[in-house]
Amino acid sequence: MENNAQPSLHKATFAGGCFWCMVTPFEELPGIHGIVSGYTGGHTVNPTYEEVCSETTGHTEAVQITFDPGLFPYRKLLDIYWRSVDPTDGEGQFHDRGSSYRPVIFYHDEEQHREAEASKAELQASGRFDKPIAVAIEPAVEFYAAEEYHQDYHLKNPLRYKYYRHGSGRDSFIERHWNTSKDKEALHKELRQRLTPMQFEVTQNNATEPPFRNEFYNNTEPGIYVDIVSGEPLFSSRDQFDAGCGWPSFSQPLHGGSIQERQDFTHGMYRIEVRSREADSHLGHVFDDGPKPGGLRYCINSASLRFIPKDRMEEEGYGSYLSEL
């Protein structure tokens, strides 16, 4: 099935067990325009949930994502997919068993096919898992949206979703196999080679650089700011303002999904820490004393950022963000 979304939008279809749990990993990412839970891969038309669960239709539960590859490329969606499933279990996922829960990457064109195969081979070669990677890679076929009560289930039934997800063993599996101490040691070794001591301490150890003695606190050039570690887009010069605090300040991030917030009780204070979503770099804090209408001030360390000037954005692969300036 061809990738026939709007010209600037593509579709990605992933099966990874219960579709309730396959929405949240993707929903807040930049460039995501919609996620539909549904059924695909089988031989019946417009199947119901009960029919799919009977294991007689050939369908599997899946999510279909509409996304802008200029803002979030397919390869990054694949990376998130692998970190959301047990890729060694081809007979189901966690405590959901049977073909209707089998993990599958459904590709919509040959480019997605090549990227999926390469990504799978890379994961297999990494040695992260003792067992072979068992996720199937198949051409996308007709996708049928599931019943309305299944759409955004985590929002409609948050408590039940929380208990279901925890009880399934999905989160504990992910925690055991990703972001391990070995991963962190390897990352820190690599980052010490390419970051300055200040950049390393700020992004990895939550340090704070001196006010007024940092690179971007008074920058007025148009462009975007990306994570110094991963290159993920974070803030636009359009939203930067002089807060008089000595650090770069922004009224909002480029996309809500590009950052994550955590409670911070260090130094005898209560604050909201801001971290990048992809690299989990410490960025700074967000306060409620910013300009209206939002009233927020994202106070960010220059050491966490790399600035891409407007005239270099296209060259460096950030052309899709020119409209955000």
b/e per residue 126-155 (b: at least 16 CB within 10 A): eebeeeebebeebebeebbebeeebbbbbe
Q: Which long-range contacts (CB under 8 A, 24 or more apart) does 159-168 make?
A: 161/20, 164/18, 164/20, 165/20, 165/21, 167/95, 168/17, 168/18, 168/21, 168/94, 168/95, 168/96
Residues 296-319: what's their mean pLDDT? Answer: 96
DSSP 176: H
Say which residues have a Cβ less than 8 Å from residue 90's Cβ, sequence separation at least 6. Answer: 102, 103, 134, 135, 136
pLDDT at residue number 255: 87
Say which residues have a Cβ less than 8 Å from residue 207's Cβ, sequence separation at least 6. Answer: 198, 201, 282
Annotated catalytic residue, options 21, 53, 245, 299: 299
pLDDT at residue number 50: 97
* Phi, psi for 47 (deg, rounded to 5): -70, 155
pLDDT at residue number 51: 98
pLDDT at residue number 179: 79
**Residue the block writes with tokens 């990457």:** 105
pLDDT at residue number 45: 98
> What angle (nearest 5°) sits at the alpha carbon of residue 238, between those of residues 236 and 242?
100
Q: Which of 65, 223, 78 has its CA nearest to residue 137?
A: 78
Residues 155-171: what's their mean pLDDT? Answer: 95
pLDDT band at 5 (very low <50, low <70, confident <90, very high): low
Q: Are 24 and 81 in contact (CB under 8 A)?
A: no
Name the more confident of 4 and 81.
81
Whether 3 shows a pLDDT value over 90: the answer reads: no
223-227 β-sheet, strand order: 233-236, 223-227, 305-309
d(CA 150, CA 19): 8
> In the structure encoding, which two tokens stand for residue 195, read together?
């970051």
Q: 10-177 adopts what CATH topology?
A: Peptide Methionine Sulfoxide Reductase; Chain A (3.30.1060)
Please compute Rg for the chain using Cα positions: 21
Say which residues have a Cβ less than 8 Å from residue 296's Cβ, sequence separation at least 6. Answer: 251, 252, 286, 287, 288, 290
- Averaged confidence pLDDT in the chain: 95
Residues 118-143: what's their mean pLDDT? Answer: 97
Catalytic annotation on 299? yes
**Of the candidate ranges 101-110, 122-131, 180-189, the one whose mean pLDDT is the lowest:** 180-189
**Of the candidate ranges 38-42, 215-219, 314-318, the one whose mean pLDDT is the lowest:** 314-318
| CATH 3.30.360.10 is the classification of domain 191-324 | no
pLDDT at residue number 182: 84
Say which residues have a Cβ less than 8 Å from residue 72's Cβ, sequence separation at least 6. Answer: 29, 30, 31, 32
DSSP letters, 77-103, are HHHHHHTTS-TT-TTEETTEESGGG--
d(CA 187, CA 166): 28
Whether 4 shows a pLDDT value over 60: the answer reads: no
pLDDT at residue number 257: 82
Domain boundaries, the chain: 10-177, 191-324
pLDDT band at 189 (very low <50, low <70, confident <90, very high): very high
Annotated catalytic residue, options 18, 21, 53, 245: 18
Catalytic annotation on 53? no
Say which residues have a Cβ less than 8 Å from residue 184's Cβ, sequence separation at least 6. Answer: none
Q: Are 86 and 123 in contact (CB under 8 A)?
A: no
pLDDT at residue number 2: 53
Crossing angle for the helix pair 197-205 and 181-194, to the nearest 10 degrees:
150
pLDDT, one tens digit per residue, over 262-307 is: 999 998 999 999 999 989 999 999 999 999 999 999 999 999 999 9
Whether 322 shows a pLDDT value over 80: the answer reads: yes
pLDDT band at 183 (very low <50, low <70, confident <90, very high): confident
